[in-house]
Amino acid sequence: MKVLYLDCFSGISGDMMLAALLDLGFSLAELKKLVKQLRLPIEVEVRATKKAGIRAKKVVFKPLQPQPNHRSCRELLEILAAGELAPEISQKVKDSILRLAQAEAAVHGEDPQDVHFHELGGLDTLVDLAGVFTGVRALGIKKIHCSPLPLGRGVVKCAHGILPLPAPATLELLKQVPTYGVPLEAELVTPTGALLATSLANCFGPPPPALWKKFGHGAGSLELPQPNILRAWLGESASEEEQEYLPFESDQVIILETQVDDHNPEFLSYLRGQLETEGALDVTFIPAMMKKGRPGTLISILSPQEKLLTLCKLIFQHTTALGVRWFPVQRYKLSRSFVEVDTPYGKVTVKLGFSKQLDGTKKLENIAPEFESCASVAREKGISIKEVYQAAISAAYYKFSHNFSSSMK
């Protein structure tokens, strides 16, 4: 299945995404055909350019005759209706224009049909939308993922006067979408860019597992301290049907790390307890040789995403660390359940790990007796813990290995 990842490290606009798709192989002739089908008095050019040394493509719109400063939503819909776009593309463009108009109307307190689009009287918006929707279809893309969107600050001059950034309509379109602020006074995400990202992306986050084959670069108009490009990654991933039958569960967690060389090691056990109480999934202490040859400890914590700040606070509170680095990671894991088994020494709790089969049954992959349960029985019976441990594994294997699939379907 073809998958597209929108790497919006410098934001996204309609022309940036269109240019990125052209760089991936969408035909310029097909784009010009769309302009003719819409009967628009503009010419489209694609130019090679560089942004901070990175090659990219740039889409340029040239009016063939004078254009009004703006057109209303109603006027754009009339132009769209008079065109000859494929019905599927035409409907997507119509829905997008209405959604964009509704966002503008919510900000300015107007009727959506009376909202006006600027630039080339809104004609560039029509081409951006029709071109992107057609390009996605032409490239055979079935699923689109998008990175969280960076939001610049400052102000922008428009027909309504001076407006703050992000533009109010952009914010309206980005409700419930992951974003983050950057210290750049620039409009990184335009309303059309926000519209396309939220309309096309199935999810927002890191790149999905895929075999990446091509990378398209779409250039923006602004000159920034960083490359002002949208990177579009095109690759192959498992189909939705194949993903549905992955044998393992998957999720995304956070790894937090810090190193200390002036911390009393006696306090690490207390730190572990505090972290686990607040939701840490795992805590590891690793001996490390730090700067100036001093022995220290690498503290590594596996955390649910929502516990990131809570666990950071605990690290700063209970250690001498001055900073914590963190990064998201994907993981596969076996499905798990806890059961009690009968052994010659009494009941022992064991943890079962199993994978999912194509027919919906579950296959037993691992058996792990719980340490505290084994230790309690060993103390009570006055025997070694390894005897209890081995007895628990045998009992669990005998009970579940032969009928596990049918009993757990």
- pLDDT tens-digit profile of 159-215? 667 889 998 889 999 999 999 999 999 999 999 999 999 999 989 999 988 899 999
Output the CA torsion sign for 377, 383, 385, 389: negative
- Interatomic CA distance for residues 228 and 10, integer angstroms: 5
Structure tokens belonging to residue 113: 């049909």
Give the range among 232-236, 243-247, 263-267 with minimum mean pLDDT. 243-247
More confident residue, 344 or 331: 344
Instruction: Render pLDDT for 335-351 as a digit per residue (tens, 0 to 9).
Output: 889 999 999 999 999 99
Q: What is the structure's pLDDT at 244?
A: 56
- DSSP notation for 182-208: -S--S--B-HHHHHHHHHH-SEESSPP
Output the CA torsion sign for 18, 24, 26, 27: positive
Q: What is the structure's pLDDT at 251?
A: 83
Instruction: Render pLDDT for 38-56 as a digit per residue (tens, 0 to 9).
Output: 999 999 999 999 999 999 9
pLDDT at 120 over 60: no
Angle (nearest 5°) at CA 357 between 281 and 305: 20
How far is the first Cα of the chain from the last one, in angstroms, to the nearest whole number?
A: 29
pLDDT at 268 over 70: yes
What confidence tier does 157 reach under pLDDT thresholds 50, 70, 90?
Answer: confident
- Interatomic CA distance for residues 283 and 303, integer angstroms: 9
Scored b (16 or more CB within 10 A) or e, 359-384 reads eeebebeebebbeebbebbbeeeeee
| pTM, entire model | 0.62
Q: Are 10 and 228 in contact (CB under 8 A)?
A: yes
3-state class (DSSP) for residue 28: helix
What confidence tier does 305 reach under pLDDT thresholds 50, 70, 90?
Answer: confident
| Helical spans, DSSP H, in 67-203 | 73-82, 87-108, 123-138, 168-173, 191-200
What confidence tier does 407 reach under pLDDT thresholds 50, 70, 90?
Answer: very low
pLDDT (mean) for 142-151: 95
Q: What is the structure's pLDDT at 406?
A: 40
Q: How many CA atoms lie within 13 A of 102 on its CB side?
A: 8
3-state class (DSSP) for residue 316: helix
What confidence tier does 121 reach under pLDDT thresholds 50, 70, 90?
Answer: low
Q: Are 393 and 341 in contact (CB under 8 A)?
A: no
- Interatomic CA distance for residues 158 and 27, integer angstroms: 33
3-state class (DSSP) for residue 71: strand
What confidence tier does 291 reach under pLDDT thresholds 50, 70, 90?
Answer: confident
- DSSP notation for 225-241: SS--EEEEEEEE---HH
Q: Are 100 and 108 in contact (CB under 8 A)?
A: no
* Helical packing angle, 191-200 and 87-108, nearest 10°: 130
- Please state, as a whole number, how many other Cβ atoms lie within 10 Å of the Cβ of residue 39: 10
For the chain, the domains span 2-242, 249-332, 335-407
More confident residue, 106 or 57: 57
All residues at 6 or more sequence positions from 326 whose CB lies less than 8 Å from its CB, including other chains: 254, 255, 256, 257, 308, 312
Strands 229-236 and 2-7: what pairing?
antiparallel
Superfamily designation of domain 249-332: Transcriptional regulatory protein pf0864 domain like (3.30.70.1380)
- Interatomic CA distance for residues 263 and 320, integer angstroms: 6
Q: What is the structure's pLDDT at 269?
A: 93
CATH architecture of 335-407: Roll (3.10)
3-state class (DSSP) for residue 107: helix
Q: What is the structure's pLDDT at 405?
A: 44
Q: What is the structure's pLDDT at 409?
A: 41
3-state class (DSSP) for residue 280: coil
pLDDT (mean) for 68-79: 86
Looking at mean pLDDT, say which of 20-34, 101-115, 250-264 comes out highest.
Answer: 20-34
Q: What is the structure's pLDDT at 240?
A: 57
Q: Are 122 and 131 in contact (CB under 8 A)?
A: no
Looking at mean pLDDT, say which of 175-179, 229-233, 366-370 comes out highest.
Answer: 229-233
Q: Is 182 exposed, middle or buried (0-12, 13-18, 19+ CB in 10 A)?
A: middle
Q: Residue 325: beta bridge partners?
A: 257
pLDDT at 392 over 70: yes
Structure tokens belonging to residue 164: 């703050």
Q: Are 200 and 190 in contact (CB under 8 A)?
A: no
